[in-house]
Structure 1
Amino acid sequence: MISFVGAGPGAADLMTFRGAARLARAEVVVWASSLIPAEVLEHANPSAERHDSAGMTLEDVLAVYARHPEAAIVRLHSGDTSVYGAIGEQIAWCRSTGREYEIVPGVGSLSAAAAAIGRELTAPGVAQSIVQTRLAGGRTAASMPAGESVAAFAGHRTTMAVYLSTQRPAQLQAELLDEGRGYAPGTPAVVVAKASWPDERVITTTVGGLAEDLAASGIRTAALVLVGDALGEIEPQRTRLYDPRYSHGCRRRSTEGSTEGRAIPVEKRRLP
């Protein structure tokens, strides 16, 4: 079995229980030292054969899999495997060779970045959607489908998370502004580098000041740029989820404006 495991954003204690369990019994571990702190490997079986993929090609990694057809293998990917996880080619190999595999999700860098700045990324009446994207350019231009540029999404003006783009601060700012069609210059923007790592950094700015502040910070890799009005100092609206005037499957509406002190029957369900 090959387990593609989301290692989480960096902190060793943000790996899931399932991911840690897979590491603990792995016979072979493939991980990238450039993206995953060594502390995460504290969960790993001490006797496991380890391969640092930082300098490996896809073919090198697949060769490791091929040499161990019966082994319990863990392939660690930073964050969560579902976002820029680069597991598609490996899954295709597993399917073509009949190799059994599984995917173990992880805590993504977006969640870690939101925690670092102490913000909810959605807010009633402000932002109810989150765009996750990256700049197109250089080696990645061909992988970006038409209509999915940062500028194309900027017109929605909802919360946006831009990955893998801090090396081009001027281009990033220009696409976010999109000549007046995108975000306003005063829109809050935050750069979170190495979220949950010991050397985590947070730069708070605006879309209009993003290029200058990002360039001055020296941050180039392992960073996420968050943009949107939900990041600013807003007056939060009360949500209906906990409003006593509204009911749902576990609570009846209170005509007196409060459910305090009332026993509401809740269906008991057996955990899987």
Structure 2
Amino acid sequence: MISFVGAGPGDPELITIAGAKALAVADIVIWASSLVPETILDHCSASPRIYDSASMTLEDVIEVYKTEKESNIVRLHSGDPSVYGAIQEQIDICIAHGLDYKIIPGVTSLAATAARIGRELTIPKVSQSVVFTRIASRTSASMPEREKLSSYAKIGGSIGIFLSIADPQGMQEALLCEDSAFTIETPVVIAIRVSWPDEKIIETTLGNLASSLRATGAKRTVLVLVGEALGGQAERSHLYRPDFAHVFRKRSLPGTTIGRRAKKSTSAHL
């Protein structure tokens, strides 16, 4: 069995229980040492063989899958494997060769950053959408024309920009394009190696994005969050208002008691 496991953003405690269990019984682990901290491997308990995918091609990885198909193999990806994880090409090959596989999701760096700064990314009347995107550079051929950063900037919402540290000025200009929903005062968060021991979190504005990015000196493992939701101001949502009813809760009138006691169980506890 091949398990594609999301290792989370870095902190070994932010891997899921399912991911940790998969590592605990793994015979083989293929991981990227440049993206996943070695402390994640502390969840291993069966002394697996370790392959570092940083120096491997897709063909090298698939060869391990095929020759070790009777083993428990964990392919450890940073964050969540469904986001810039390059797993679809591996899945296609697994299907073509009849190899069993499963996917165990992980905590994204975007989720970890939002938690770190104490912000919700979907605030009523401010932002109800979150976009994961990047700026194309060396892999520009893989970026659909309609998915330019400037296109998303015209919509607004909350945007998480991955893998785009190489062009700070281009990022800023795209976000402040003509008809952009953002302004130079729009809040920005730069997260570098979030949840790692040496993490850096910089809170700035869109007008200072390029200079702030350059000042970090970072070359990789950088996430940029943009959007008014990062300002942290919110009106009360409808969901938990006393006068808002839904299938699980009736409308509460002034003076009524909210909530109800749980029924006592009559079953015996053995």
The TM-score, its normalising length taken from structure 1, stands at 0.93
* Offset at residue 112 of structure 1 (A): 0.3
Query: Aligned residue for 2:231?
Result: 232
CA deviation string 1:12-63 (max 9, x = no partner): 0011010111110011100011000001000013421110111111111111
Question: CA 1:157–1:257 in 2, change beyond 3 Å: closer, same or farther?
Answer: farther
Equivalent position SS for 2:201: strand
1:120 matched to 2:120: yes
* Distance (Å, rounded) in 1 between the aligned partners of 2:72 and 2:24: 10
4+ runs of 1 displaced by more than 4 Å?
none
TM-aligned CA distance change 1:140 to 1:259, over 3 Å: farther
Query: What residue in structure 2 maps to residue 249 of structure 1?
Result: 247
CA contact (8 A) 1:244 1:257 kept: no
Letter in 2 for 1:215: R
Equivalent runs, 1:192-271 vs 2, <5 Å: 192-234=191-233, 236-256=234-254, 259-260=257-258, 262-263=259-260
Question: Shift of residue 220 of structure 1?
Answer: 2.0
Give the aligned partner of residue 133 of structure 2: 133
Query: Partner of 2:176: helix, strand, or coil?
Result: helix
AA aligned opposite 1:263: R
Amino acid at match of 1:213: S
Deviations 1:188-229 (A, max 9, x none): 111011111111101111111000111011122111100011
Q: Hey, what's the Cα distance between the residues in 1 that align with 2:153 and 2:39? A: 37
Q: Which runs of 5+ in 1 are unaligned?
A: 267-272
Does the residue aligned with 1:113 lie in a helix, a strand or coil?
helix
Contact 2:120 2:232 in 1 (8 A): no
The corresponding residue for 1:269 is none
Partner of 2:165: 166
Q: CA shift at 1:233, angstroms?
A: 4.5
Structure 2: any 5+ residue segments left out of the alignment? 264-270
Distance of 2:104 and 2:257 partners within structure 1 = 39
Alignment-mate amino acid for residue 152 of structure 1? S
Would you say the 8 A contact 2:10–2:193 is kept in 1?
Answer: yes
| Partners of 1:264 and 1:135 in 2: CA distance | 53
Kept in 2, the 8 Å contact 1:251–1:264? The answer is: no
Contact 1:250 1:264 in 2 (8 A): no
Root-mean-square deviation (CA), in Å? 1.7
CA distance in 2, matches of 1:169, 1:194: 17
Q: Percent identity?
A: 50
- Spell out, residue by residue over 1:149-183, the C-alpha distance to the aligned partner (whole angstroms, 9 max, x if none): 10111001211110001121011111111145352
Q: TM-score when scaled to structure 2?
A: 0.93
8 Å CA contact retained: 2:127, 2:157: yes
Q: Distance in 2 between matches of 1:211 and 1:43?
A: 39
Q: What is the aligned partner in structure 1 of residue 156 from structure 2? A: 157
Cα deviation, residue 68, structure 1: 0.6
- Structure 1 position 249, deviation (Å): 2.5
- Report matched runs for 1:1-272 at 5 Å: 1-137=1-137, 139-179=138-178, 181-234=180-233, 236-256=234-254, 259-260=257-258, 262-263=259-260
